[in-house]
Structure 1
Amino acid sequence: MKPAYRVRSVVNAVNLSTPLGLLLAVAATRRSGGGPRLRGAGDGLLVAGGYRPPVPIASAFTVGNVILVRGDASMLLSNPRLLQHEARHSTQYAWCLGVVMIPLYLACAGISMALCGDWASFNPFERLAGLEDGGYEGRPLRPILRRR
């Protein structure tokens, strides 16, 4: 593992974002025979498949070094662009002091929704993670805002 990914793993463990991701994986995924099935995705990332709650609406999302996936974890592992997108979010948790990223992300998503009707297009976290890699299409500003 590259030193930068090792640092990211340590920082996300210390800032409590990875432990929160693991807690979500245990609480919000179902698997016959017990708890979540965590799979390594390389670079210190873990993938937990079977995420059930309706929020967030994304097919995959990241908390610390844990990527939670609605379907089977292999869906993410077979999509290198989406995996890279989620890995960038993991790095953002290290930059944003861990769980502080969650309210920052939500605020940016709300502003993006107000600007263009989309959670991602004007959300700097999604833009920096790569909109297209995450499966998002960039949307323009709402017509009333374009005129100003």
Structure 2
Amino acid sequence: MSGWQRARRVVNYVNLSTPLGLLVARLGRARVTKGPGGLLLAHGYRIPFPVAGAFTLGNVVLTRRSEDEGYLTGPLLRHEARHATQYAFCLGVLMLPLYFAAVGVSVLICGHHGSWNLFEWLADLDEGGYRRRSPWWVRRTVIPSKEEGPDSSVV
């Protein structure tokens, strides 16, 4: 574990985001194990909210999937680790209202909770499995005229 990962772990305990994550994991009856980089992986989370493959509270990464599935690995785990870092920079549990405000902005812009969410962009949308969606003011269908033909570009 790097020095930065140790510091993130300490900051997220002190700012109460990791204790909140452990409480949520316990309430959701998840099994918590040590993960890489000072993360705690909580598998088998049973509460139906939030609707996500995985989510992070402090240094705790929660998923409904079992540990045997190997879901919390590779790009997704890197994405969730970036969220753990965001908790350290956003004063812990204060990240939650900021995150939900970013969800609202994203829904207003494109109708999806993650595509224009600043926190998801900073955590790398692609590694989190999010599709990039155009803002509502850009998405318009253009029916090509007969002169343009079917190969015309859609704006």
Q: TM-score, normalised to structure 1's length?
A: 0.89
Does residue 40 in structure 1 map to residue 37 in structure 2?
no
Partner of 1:27: 27
Aligned mates of 1:104, 1:52 — CA distance in 2 = 25
Q: Answer whether contact 1:39 1:73 (CA < 8 A) is retained.
A: no
Gapped regions of structure 2 (runs ≥ 5)? 140-155
1:1-148 to 2 correspondence within 5 Å? 1-29=1-29, 36-74=30-68, 75-77=70-72, 79-142=73-136, 145-146=137-138
Question: Which AA in structure 2 matches 1:27?
Answer: L
Q: TM-score, normalised to structure 2's length?
A: 0.85
Aligned mates of 1:76, 1:93 — CA distance in 2 = 22
Aligned mates of 2:47, 2:2 — CA distance in 1 = 34
Aligned mates of 1:128, 1:12 — CA distance in 2 = 18
Q: Which has the larger radius of gyration?
A: 2
Aligned mates of 2:103, 2:128 — CA distance in 1 = 15
* Superimposed CA distance per residue, residues 97-119 of structure 1 (whole angstroms, 9 cap, x where no aligned partner): 00000010001001101110111
Identity %: 53
Gapped regions of structure 1 (runs ≥ 5)? 30-35
